[in-house]
Structure 1
């Protein structure tokens, strides 16, 4: 995410972001699909797994090229660019987190229209819901990859991993399935933080919407009072 509050975005960089954000989001879905096939496909279908790995590498290379172009168009020094575009940097290192850029995808699309089609509250809930789904699938795949053959693991199947991701995202945390590897626990910490943020966004938006509805009803007054 660029440092838009302290410095203007160069016009060429802004144009590049608007042109590429949607296609890069689609590439992120392709990356996720390739990673899913690579992780879940049986070992005896080697050609399919190899094709999936090729998709993963190709899309990651696309992300790297986009990152380099953004850096070039920004006119910033490398460290300043990394610091102010921290989300771009994180997504480059961990492409499974690309769903976190959903808001920027919507912004890039919306700039081509005159006004939003959804209210603010509906947009926040839509962003949070879709991000939760994509993030949950990504986390389930990553944890299953790390855990399914680890000694003493309680997450042995992809179904176990999906159950764990749902419990973690909703902050329920039953404790019947927990990661035991370092990589799995790192994913768990990130998912816990994202789960709290997404739940807070949805709850806050829904509460604000209810308050707005009740305020409008109060302003109308009881029937026949006019």
Structure 2
């Protein structure tokens, strides 16, 4: 009985390490992960390696087609738009709920302060606190299933960003100002305005990311 938690912990540790390396751009899109390679690299049994791979597949960090080796997902322009469309749908519902209660999550404020303290950072350095800001909004409504769903989307956004490290999709100063405006709208209880502003906040990076992964950007990419 005591070996089960230890095994589960080992699976999580391996998955966490692989995920962090992928999201740092160490493994580009379509890099393959076999059970044998992972077992050898982390000195574990193949069932443990398989479980770690399957965990990352379930998070949409890796993909495994029928009878194929698991690979790092390589997202294209329409994937980006679909990810951001789903993000917007989830976040809008959250913003309406938070504004109704005039509840500004402490986690979002903390992430905002972290963004404000970044100095001379690259575009990729802003990704973690930016995503934590939005994740904190979603987490604050207390729905584990919604948080898990949104967390998967966050991983995929980071996956896109890992492919284009160093690119400034949106200047950090603008992100900070727009986040602050969202928090002010929540505090003011104006859910409709917060929901509408979220569209503007997400549409610019969405279309610039579409262009960065080889697509044709919409007009939002050029909005000042």
Normalised by the size of structure 1, how large is the TM-score? 0.29
Task: Please identify which structure carries the higher helix content.
Answer: 1
Question: Could you say which structure has the greater relative contact order, defined with CA pairs below 8 angstroms and 6 or more residues apart?
Answer: 2
Normalised by the size of structure 2, how large is the TM-score? 0.29
Q: Which has the larger radius of gyration?
A: 1
